[in-house]
Structure 1
Amino acid sequence: MKSAGELPVESRDGHSTGDGRTRAAVARLLMEQGPVTAAAVAADLELSAPAVRRHLDALVADGEAEVRKASTRGPRGRGRPAGHYVLTDAGRARFGHGYDDLAVAALRYLAEFGGPDAVQGFARTRVKDLLGPASAQIAAASPDERAELLATALTTRGYAAQARAGGMGVQLCQHHCPVAHVAAEFPVLCEAETAAFADLLGTHVQRLATIARGDSACTTHVPLDVPDAGRKHSTTTISGDRSLRGRQSE
């Protein structure tokens, strides 16, 4: 069904006065009808082929869509078979989902019937599963390599992390948090994560800011002048003093 009522004005040569809304309409059609060809998208939305190609290429470049090879079964016409476009998990995320609400409800239930210890146990297990096999690699590395390896491991799990030199050590910055909405109600998730970082890095760490509390990134300070692992590590999570949040690396 045509979605033109939701589209901005767009000329047949592909120029648009509202690329964002048009791209969202293209993505929605992929979600509802994919895998689908570019020609089918153009026909359904009554857009030019160049305009649709531009939006599809942008979605693919951003990791929100992918092209699948057309089936070779049956009679084939002249030329190369048209590719079929489909949304990726990242592309479907732009339309939202109820996973956060479900997770919050589950943790509320766990807290009510299992108590705080059950929630803390879940938080510790979650961090262990999050880092998985990377934990052994990080622990085996030299102290000045661990923060970078941890950032890489977190990035592969969707946290867009970076390790940057700052102050008397390194600042581990996580620019995205897939569970920020849940952690806002259950900060024990952040506390367990911070404790796991300290254990892996072999040093005291200090959480300066969190996305769950409204900051632009989760920032953890990792000093590099503290003796290596083998000692009991302490952690400092973000306090009620919001002045700490300004101490993020540029």
Structure 2
Amino acid sequence: MNIAEAPQVLESRTRDRVLQAISEHGPVTAAALAEDLGLTSPAVRRHLENLVEARLIVDRELPPGHRGRGRPAKAFVLSEAGHQALESDYDHLATQALRFLAQESGEGAVRRFAEARVGELEQRYAAELAATGPQTAARVGVLVGALTRDGFAASARPVGEPSTGGPLTGIQLCQGHCPVQHAAREFPAFCDAETDAFSRLLGVHVQRLATLAHGDHVCTTFVPTPTSDTPAGDTPPKEGPTR
């Protein structure tokens, strides 16, 4: 590496780290990014400004309950261009292949392919989750780790009681990146197959609330869990699961 080029290379790598962190944790504030990445606030703000200018991220004003004192805080999420920047060219090739498969053999063939593909992931994850035990929250934690390992930038957080006022709480499972987002936009069978696999792996009926393929900034799945199953130290907020 040319010594004169080193600062630019390091700057580019740091920008990529910021973009990846927003993919994994968005909506996320500049302060949270600085803490998570071990960067100074001015450095994070500089990268955020560059990413906004490049139209790879967009900012959103946090709701009142999530702000500190002073002016309204902004949180950042990936834009459509940002998601595409993290996508592989193989995703576009896969979409072309799926169109050909649908034309030659019908939509049912695409659905069976999606189920087979997700089935391979499910089979690999099943042993890990089985070793975790029956507690839903613990199984979600293992699933998050497995999904992140496979490039889905997953995370989870507890959410509060549903509007019914019953004792049921839940966990919101999020995926900040989808390796097949472009294909899933045209072929929702991939999202459906994944949701069904989550239900089987976790042993509860999960509900898909949002998807990257439909234009949301993150894939969100609600996993119901009894109050006693909520991870220790986590206090669910009052509101129910939202998109």
Scaled to the shorter chain, the TM-score interval is 0.5 to 0.7
Structure 1 residue aligned with 2:177: 176
- The TM-score normalised by the length of structure 2 is 0.57
The 8 Å contact of residues 122 and 197 in structure 2, kept in 1 or not, is answered as: no
Name the SS of the counterpart of 1:203 in structure 2. Answer: coil
The reply on whether 1:38 has 2:17 as its aligned counterpart is no
**Where do 1:98-177 residues align within 5 Å?**
98-131=89-122, 133-142=124-133, 143=135, 144-167=137-160, 168-177=169-178
**Where do 1:46-57 residues align within 5 Å?**
49=4, 52-57=5-10
Name the SS of the counterpart of 1:158 in structure 2. Answer: coil
**Equivalent residue letter for 2:147:** L
Pair 94,188 (structure 1): closer, same or farther in 2 beyond 3 Å: closer
Name the SS of the counterpart of 1:57 in structure 2. Answer: helix
C-alpha displacement of 1:114: 2.0
**Count of aligned residue pairs for this structure pair:** 155
Structure 1 residue aligned with 2:53: none
2:242 paired residue among 233, 238, 247: 247
**Where do 1:70-81 residues align within 5 Å?**
none
Pair 110,202 (structure 1): closer, same or farther in 2 beyond 3 Å: same
**What is the CA–CA distance in structure 1 between the aligned matches of 2:186 and 2:87, rounded to whole Å?**
19
Structure 2 residue aligned with 1:213: 214
Higher-RCO chain (CA-CA 8 Å, sequence separation at least 6): 2
**Where do 1:3-22 residues align within 5 Å?**
none
C-alpha displacement of 1:225: 2.9
Structure 2 residue aligned with 1:186: 187
C-alpha displacement of 1:223: 0.3
Query: What's the Cα RMSD here?
Result: 2.7
**What is the CA–CA distance in structure 2 between the aligned matches of 1:134 and 1:210, rounded to whole Å?**
21
The 8 Å contact of residues 208 and 220 in structure 1, kept in 2 or not, is answered as: yes
**What is the CA–CA distance in structure 1 between the aligned matches of 2:85 and 2:103, rounded to whole Å?**
32
Percent pairwise identity? 46
C-alpha displacement of 1:60: 4.7
Deviation readout 1:212-234 (Å, 9 max, x if unpaired)? 001010000000139xxxxxxxx
Name the SS of the counterpart of 1:219 in structure 2. Answer: strand
Structure 1 residue aligned with 2:66: none
The structure whose residues are more often helix, as a share, is 2
**What is the CA–CA distance in structure 2 between the aligned matches of 1:96 and 1:159, rounded to whole Å?**
11
Which sections of structure 2, spanning at least 5 residues, go unmatched? Answer: 18-83, 161-168, 228-240
The 8 Å contact of residues 204 and 224 in structure 2, kept in 1 or not, is answered as: yes
Name the SS of the counterpart of 2:179 in structure 1. Answer: coil
The 8 Å contact of residues 130 and 157 in structure 1, kept in 2 or not, is answered as: no
- The TM-score normalised by the length of structure 1 is 0.55
C-alpha displacement of 1:132: 5.2
